[in-house]
Amino acid sequence: MVDQQQLWDEEAAQSYDTPGTGMFSPEVLGPTIEVLKGLADGGRAVEFAIGTGRVAIPLAESGVEVAGIELSRAMVARLREKVGEDRIPVVLGDMATASAGEDFALAYLVFNTISNLLTQDEQVECFKNAARHLRPGGCFVIELWVPQLCALPPGHGGTVEVSEPGYILVDTVDVLHQRVVSHHFHFEADVDGGRQADVFRTPHRYIWPSELDLMARLAGFHLESRWADWSRAAFTAESRSHVSVYRLG
C-alpha cells in the first residue's frame, strides 16, 4: 500500500509549483478556469485533491467560492503560504471519503488525480463522494489521460513519455492490474561536469473512458460532455487526454 503522505511530502510540495510555466502557464490555466467557472454557474465549487492551489486559487480569484479536500498535510501547508483558510477552506482527508460539505454546484478533479486512487473500488467511491457533495443537477468534472498501451513495444513494459533537457519521464505499466508507475528523472550538472539525477516515482491506476463512464452511472451521474482538453477541442481516437463533464441526476 502506498503511503500518500510520505509520497507527497514537504520536499514534493515545495518543488511542485512552477509559476508561469508548464501546467501553471496562463495557456493552461486560462481555459481551465473559464470552463470551471462556467460550470459552477454562480454556485460553489469543491476541488478534490486541491494540492497547492494551482487551480483553486485563480478560480477563487475569478469570483467562484471554492473549498477543497487534500490528503497531504505538506501540500496544504504550501497552499496556506499563498491563501488563508478564510478564503479557501480545506478538509484534510481522502477524496474518496472526506466531506467538505453539501450543496456544491461543481466538484472537480484535475491533472489525472483520480488515478492516485489505486483500486477500482476507491475510484468508484470517489464518484459517490462527489455525488454527496453536489446539489441536484450539479457537475463533476474530471481531467484524465487516456492509456497509451498501443505505444508499448512487444515484450516491453514501459515507454519514454517525455525527454527534454534536464528531465525524462518513463512510465512502466502493469496491464494485468491497470497500474502505471511514472518515473520522473530530473538532471543537474555536478561540479565535475557530469550529471546527477533525482528520481521521483508516482503510482497510478489508469482508467479507460468507458470504465470512467460506468463509475459515473453507478453514482447517479451521466456523461454530459467530453473534450480532448480545456479548450473544448473534439475528443477523438487520437486524443491523449480528456476533460469529462458528468451531470448528477
What span, in angstroms and rounded, lies between the C-alpha atoms of 103 and 58? 22
* Distance of alpha carbon 245 from the chain centroid: 14
Distance CA 201, CA 215 (A): 27
pTM (2 d.p.)? 0.88
Cβ neighbors of 153 (< 8 A, separation 6 or more) are none
Per residue in 181-224, pLDDT (tens digit) is 888 788 876 656 666 678 878 899 999 999 999 999 999 999 99
Q: Please list the alpha-helical segments (H only) found in the chain.
A: 4-7, 10-16, 26-40, 56-61, 73-80, 120-133, 209-218
Residue 247: closest CA among 141, 144, 143: 141
| Residue 248 pLDDT > 70 | yes
CA-nearest of 228, 229, 224 to 213 is 224
Grid cell at residue 108: 472537480
Q: Please state which of the ranges 9-13, 54-58, 214-218 shows the lowest mean pLDDT.
A: 9-13
The three-point CA angle 91-15-24 to 5° equals 80
Element (H, E) at 59: helix 56-61
Flag whether pLDDT at 2 surpasses 60.
no
Average pLDDT, the chain: 91
User: Residues 78-97: pLDDT tens digits?
Assistant: 999 999 999 999 999 999 99
* Among the listed residues 210, 207, 200, the one whose alpha carbon sits nearest the alpha carbon of residue 149: 207
